[in-house]
Amino acid sequence: MSDTLTTATAAPKTGRAVRHRGIHRTHWGATGILILGALYCVLPALWVFIASTKSPGELFTTFSFWPSFTGGLQGNVDGLLAFGDQAFLRWALNTLLYAGLGSVLTVIISASAGYALAKYRFTGRELLFRIILAGVLVPQVTLAIPQYLLLAKVGLTGTYWSVLLPSLISPFSIYLCRIYAMAAIPDELLEAGRIDGAGESRLFRSVALPLMLPGLITVLLLQFVAIWNNFLLPFIMLSDSDKYPLTVGLYALLNQGASQPALYTLVITGAMLSILPLIALFLLLQRYWRLDLLSGGLKG
Amino acid sequence: MSETKTDAAQELAPPRLRGGRRPRARHARSAPYWFMLPAMALFTGFLLVPIIYATWLSLRASRRTGGGILGQRIETFVGLENYSRALSHPELYASLGRMLVYGLLVVPAMLGLALLFALMLDLPRVRMRSATRIGIFLPYAVPGVIASLLWGFLYLPRVSPIRRTFDAVGLAPPDFFGPTSIFFSVANIAVWGGVGFNMIVMYTALRAIPTELYDAARIDGCNDWQVAWRIKIPLLQPALVMTGIFSMIATLQVFTEPQTLSPLTNVISSSWMPLQKIYTDAFVLNDIYSAAATSIALAGVSLILSLIVLTVMQRRAFGENK
């Protein structure tokens, strides 16, 4: 099993041959399918932006796909920010802490482990790698309940740690870092560094990390989304709404609002405000995505 | 493993005392263990130990000793009783059945659409390539809870723009929260959220195929369809295995979407999916022992299932290479 997984190539693909340009006819069938797909994916997100411009009354009465300019947006944002003593802002900051700090720390931990697995021969290496691979295949979410039970035993549930610490270990990130380190760091460079008298930790910081950077950005984004997406972990660990991330906070708001439709617009505005920065981040970092890490991951 | 760790620890102390070239070499030998240390500590603390602790809990139960109101609750060892009780509960199989239906809807639809879009993106003479690619990828930036909130409102009778459109053209609006249609409604959220990511993974793999292969096929008279079917899809197999396994694992742990929709409808019970049942057992019914047993069983099943799929598919995909 690990044979094919380990002999992965993630080397950057160079110079794809020039595509057929002989015929200038547009491929309308394919273009049409792609446009339909894009509409399916974009329209619901667009709807949330439009719906957030509407006051509670308008939400149920006006045409769905036309924004309202009667100041509903301002009212909704004010209402949301004022809700529960600025709960929304706190949730946003908490999310930034869990997903932002969490993903940065995960990348550092995974990069160092992946680098060791890729670039050193040591006793127990194969065993450790196999254990980590098995960890990739165990769903993180099924671990949430065991993690809760353990943390409850040591009295850590309900703290920031209870969400942050379990998020830091990502076997998949270690696996990706190992693939990338194998492809991106030439052994000769490390040998040259050693001959020049650099210590191992210096080699890691000054030689390995810069070379791994493009792969690490991908791992960072994947992990950011994974933590931000993980609903069950904060949902079971936290009971104090002050420590909620946005996802759990909005869920709680919806749960409360199910009986009072006046809260719907707050939930919709909250959803809009929480996906806006993430969409912006993705569009900005688009060109740093190295998803060939994933697709090439299993190449024999 | 433990031997090598102590080896490494012993070698850490002396290097600076001895001169010459050896310290560096010795230092280099212990270095990988230091690099692995934080990851392995967290792996042990938040993966291995919780699994072991949950397994231990799953073999125990809280029992009343003595009689009447003076009796005390004491935790005792009960063997496999929790497992036999949890695994004989009809609601568990009902939720597993619902998960199977959900998985059979989501996995083929999501991967099929992702493959279709990736192949279309890879065709020559396609307009709006990058705009549509970004558009389809966009939902990946939307977390599951928010995607479910968003679709929940699109489904909700009083707000739904889809139902209004049906009303406007004089058709009977669909009921998204019916006992059968709820499967499609929940599956749709997962497909919407996942199709773009899988498409990008497949598209990236397609871009890595040397174009000379297509040129050769075209000279031999293949059309786009034949090139896709005979060359692209077979060469995509590793990416398809990868995305297939991840979608299956995601299916086994489906929780967010139904849980978020549940305030909006009463079709979704508190044990609609296996993970929801575990959650209800642990936090509503306060039976952590039974919840531990079910989560260990579920984690075990998913590990075995993904190992089997990985082995079988790799034998098929890579058999010729060996």
Q: Where are the domains of chain B?
A: 2-50, 59-88, 89-321
pLDDT band at A85 (very low <50, low <70, confident <90, very high): confident
Q: Which of B247, B254, B253 is nearest to B313 (CA)?
A: B247
Tokens 């993430």, residue? A278
In a domain? residue A17: no
Higher per-residue confidence, A9 vs B167: B167
In a domain? residue A4: no
Q: How many domains does chain A have?
A: 1
Helix intervals (H) in A154-186:
160-168, 171-184
Q: What DSSP letter does each residue of B35-77 carry, written as one string?
A: HHHHHHHHHIIIIIHHHHHHHHHHTEEEEEESSGGG-EEEEEE
Answer whether A113 touches B (CB < 8 Å): yes
pLDDT band at A71 (very low <50, low <70, confident <90, very high): low
pLDDT over 60 at A291, yes or no: yes
Tell if the CB–CB gap between B283 and A199 is shorter than 8 Å: no
- Which residue in chain B has the smallest CA separation from A39? B135
Tell if the CB–CB gap between A115 and B139 is shorter than 8 Å: no
Residues A295-300, mean pLDDT to the nearest whole number? 42
> Candidates 1.10.3720.10, 3.50.50.60, 3.50.40.10, 3.40.1210.10; correct CATH number of B89-321?
1.10.3720.10
Tell if the CB–CB gap between A41 and B307 is shorter than 8 Å: no
In a domain? residue A165: yes
Q: HSE, CB side, 13 Å, CA atoms: give it for residue A31.
A: 10
How many beta-carbon contacts under 8 Å exist across A and B? 343
Q: Which of B121, B126, B230, B211 is nearest to A23 (CA)?
A: B126
Q: In which domain, by residue range, is A192 found?
A: 73-295
**Residue range B29-80, pLDDT digits in tens:** 789 999 999 999 999 999 889 989 888 888 988 776 666 666 667 778 888 8
**Which residues of chain A make contact with B133, given a CB cutoff of 8 A?**
34
Tell if the CB–CB gap between B140 and A282 is shorter than 8 Å: yes
Higher per-residue confidence, A73 vs B182: B182
- Residue B204's CB: how many other CB atoms inside 10 A? 20
- Phi (first) and psi of residue A178, to 5 degrees: -65, -45
Tell if the CB–CB gap between B142 and A150 is shorter than 8 Å: no
Residues A129-137, mean pLDDT to the nearest whole number? 83
Counts for chain B of helices (H) and strands (E), in that order: 16, 2
Answer whether A127 touches B (CB < 8 Å): yes
pLDDT over 80 at B317, yes or no: no
- Residue A49's CB: how many other CB atoms inside 10 A? 16
Q: Can you give the pLDDT at residue B112?
A: 96
The pLDDT mean for chain A works out to 81
- Which residue in chain B has the smallest CA separation from A137? B303
Which of A21-35, A48-62, B200-214 holds the top average pLDDT? B200-214
pTM of this structure: 0.81
**Residue range A139-186, pLDDT digits in tens:** 666 788 889 989 998 999 999 999 999 999 999 899 889 988 998 899
Token pair recorded at residue A86: 């600025």
Answer whether A47 touches B (CB < 8 Å): yes
Residues B214-235, mean pLDDT to the nearest whole number? 86
- Cα of B70 to nearest chain A Cα, Å: 26
Q: Which of A116, A191, A91 is nearest to B39 (CA)?
A: A116
Q: Can you give the pLDDT at residue B11?
A: 44
Residues A81-93, mean pLDDT to the nearest whole number? 85
Percent of chain B with pLDDT over 70: 85
Scanning B72-91 for CB atoms below 8 A from A yields: none
Shortest CB distance from B321 goes to which of A20, A21, A300? Answer: A300
Tell if the CB–CB gap between A146 and B210 is shorter than 8 Å: no
Residues 6 or more apart whose Cβ sits within 8 Å of residue A146: B50, B51, B53, B54, B292, B295, B296, B299
Higher per-residue confidence, B181 vs B27: B181
Instruction: State how far the Cα of A213 lies from the Cα of A221, in Å rounded to an integer.
Output: 12
- Which residue in chain A has the smallest CA separation from B37? A113
Tell if the CB–CB gap between A137 and B242 is shorter than 8 Å: no
Q: Can you give the pLDDT at residue A21?
A: 45
**Residue range A101-129, pLDDT digits in tens:** 999 999 999 999 999 999 999 999 989 98
pLDDT band at B264 (very low <50, low <70, confident <90, very high): confident
Instruction: State how far the Cα of A232 lies from the Cα of B282, in Å rounded to an integer.
Output: 13
Residues B120-135, mean pLDDT to the nearest whole number? 88
Q: Can you give the pLDDT at residue B66?
A: 63
